[in-house]
Amino acid sequence: MNYLAPVADMLFNMEHVADLHAISQLPGYEDASLETAAAVLGECARFNQDVVAPLNWTGDQEPSQVHEGVVSTTPGFKAAFRKFAEAGWQGVQHGTHFGGQGLPKLIASCCGEMLNAANLSFALCPLLTDGAIEALDTAGSKAQKQAFIPRMISGEWTGTMNLTEPQAGSDLSMVRTRAVPQGDGTYRLFGQKIYITYGEHDMADNIVHLVLARTPNAPEGVKGISLFIVPKFLVAEGGSIGARNDVYCTSIEHKLGIKASPTAVLLYGDGKYPVAANGGPAQAGAIGDLVGEENRGLEYMFVMMNAARFGVGVQGIAVADRAYQKAAAFARERVQSRDIGGSAGPVAIAHHPDVRRMLMTMRAQVEGARALAMMTSACFDVAARHPDPEVRKRQQRLYEFLVPIVKGWSTEMSIEVASLGVQVHGGMGFIEETGAAQYYRDARILTIYEGTTAIQANDLIGRKTLRDAGATARAIAESLRETARALLAAAASRPDADLLGGGAAPGDSEAGSPRPGASMLARDKALRAAPDCIATQLDRAAASIDHSVAWILSQARADIHGVFAGSVNFLKLFGLACSGWQLARSALAAIQLLGEARGDPEFLRAKIICAKFHADHLLPQTQALAHAITQGADAVMGLEVEAL
């Protein structure tokens, strides 16, 4: 089954959830109209469907290879990346002064979802490059920006971030890579970095490594980490590529998924490529330039990490959508067993209630997470460009609160959705040739890299909720209640005829349909009940947020271990609540549009039913999560370590 980019859903969210029109009124975004977005997304869809998606299976079967430090990527990747670069897709959200398109993050995030859904392994290279561009644009000198950013935007060069070392995984205070000053403003770096995505490849002329390292006499811990630009090939004055730098790929990892993406082990200063500098003899040590000030490297790298964390959340949505599309197509075609209500012969499995439940779970999760990510990216755009500093501050605070949710929740969701995709396929899903298993394997890394779910959850509680005494969390809860009230008011002002319309529901006229009209009856019942159901569950989710936040604030000093024992459940509560909130806003817009006889009625009714399904099947979980957060800490911590 070929990938079909969800352009209609993205444009609906842009107009009715993320408010692209308001963003297009901001300075610098005047050209970002809905018409522009439709044109960009349409072209992006064609590119990813035709060029990138066909390489996804190839990459899984013929992954990247390394020989004597040289990585050869999957056949077809190099040519596809050249087309990607030439079409300008790397520069969608980056500044026009560097050669980018200067479009809002809202539009760029949709392009990113399409790329990742088409081919997750391929998309990792542009994702890391985006982060490197943002970090240099934030902290780099004018000369560094001019030397590196335009060539990364053009796709001539790509970027990486080098944090992890064998002894320093999530705890970057243990970084031991050394950076020795050379007296001419440059440094020689010595050390080993692991898990470096696209740390070595053949798709671009140069690779710009951003590397965390310690200078001599730097303070211990994270306060002594600096950030350096260490290109694969040295960059001469004027921007031309010079000698090979002393960076060597000793191996690439053999992984569960994303096999086509080369995850490199890099040696810095090992002497494989000794470098001469300032007329001196060639010697070991990779030449690097300091970014910003010494000992502020982690601060600068967090710019890249936050960009990457949001991007990884979008990756979760992307791979989940690809798994859903494949499962839905299979379920419509796979004929197996008679309908439980009676039929002359076997029917497509999409007619079976539990298959419907699985497919609706997948769809509701994907559409809710997508709407949440798009709303979050809109917060970023407003925070960056709004003329009122108070509005910028408020939107920045909301964006920072939502990023760990987008990353943590969307990636956890992707594993569940990809697993359901395998289940829908039955035994065929366990067979690699059907392709369903690849999405499951690929998704599994997403909850781990750029900070595990627990790291995102700890950030959500420690840096976000406790720091402002729960103000942002409670504001979100109140927004849920506002949407619930608006839904009830909108429904009260619209007759049922506006919601229900006429005609057969999709699937009623399909060959082999067991009971013509059954879907119509279920659809109409769901549409009538949707506003009350969604509003009720939003109110209960808001109460779960308030209850959990109050408990966390009350226990933060008395039982900090107990508070953080519930951190992942707290993140999941917000993931469900915020996804349901955005689906409710979608349903509200759909009700209003149906009343005005605007838009595609079946698309709009599907949005309402999807929101109701989420409210019926998923939002009630927030109450159970609140119980686990507030009552379950003692059982988490109750056994001694030796008893585990």
Catalytic annotation, residues? 450
Q: Which amino acid is present at 371?
A: A
Q: Which amino acid is present at 368?
A: G
Give the span between the Cα atoms of 194 and 102, in whole angstroms. Answer: 33
The alpha helices in 493-566, defined as continuous H runs, are 496-500, 518-555, 560-565
3-state secondary structure (DSSP) of residue 490? helix
Q: Which amino acid is present at 349?
A: I
Distances from the Cα of 551 to the Cα of 456, 564, 631, angstroms: 20, 12, 10
3-state secondary structure (DSSP) of residue 197? strand
Q: How many CB atoms lie within 10 A of CB 570?
A: 27
Q: Give, for 455, the enclosing helix (H) or strand (E).
A: helix 453-459
Question: Token match 């066909």: residue?
Answer: 54
Q: Give, for 286, the enclosing helix (H) or strand (E).
A: strand 286-290
Give the span between the Cα atoms of 366 and 329, in whole angstroms. Answer: 16
Separation of CA 263 from chain center = 19
Q: Of 20, 24, 21, 89, which is closest to residue 51 (Cα–Cα)?
A: 89
For the chain, what is the total number of helices (H) and then of strands (E)? 21, 14
398 - beta bridge partners? Answer: none
Confirm if 140 and 292 have CB atoms less than 8 A apart.
yes
Residue 503, Ramachandran bin (φ over 0: left; ψ between -120 and 50: alpha; else beta)? left
Give the span between the Cα atoms of 52 and 30, in whole angstroms. Answer: 30
Q: Of 527, 500, 506, which is closest to residue 612 (Cα–Cα)?
A: 527
Q: Which amino acid is present at 18?
A: A
Give the span between the Cα atoms of 525 and 531, in whole angstroms. Answer: 12
Please state the length of the chain.
Answer: 644
Confirm if 152 and 208 have CB atoms less than 8 A apart.
yes
Q: Of 304, 327, 117, 330, which is closest to residue 211 (Cα–Cα)?
A: 304
Distances from the Cα of 626 to the Cα of 549, 552, 575, angstroms: 9, 11, 13
Q: What is the bridge-based pairing of β-strands 226-231 and 206-213?
A: antiparallel
Question: Token match 């406790």: residue?
Answer: 466
3-state secondary structure (DSSP) of residue 537? helix
Confirm if 460 and 404 have CB atoms less than 8 A apart.
yes
3-state secondary structure (DSSP) of residue 508? coil
Confirm if 302 and 135 have CB atoms less than 8 A apart.
no
Rg (CA), the chain: 25
Give the span between the Cα atoms of 161 and 460, in whole angstroms. Answer: 23
Q: What is the bridge-based pairing of β-strands 346-348 and 178-181?
A: unpaired
Give the span between the Cα atoms of 102 and 108, in whole angstroms. Answer: 10
Give the span between the Cα atoms of 290 and 227, in whole angstroms. Answer: 6
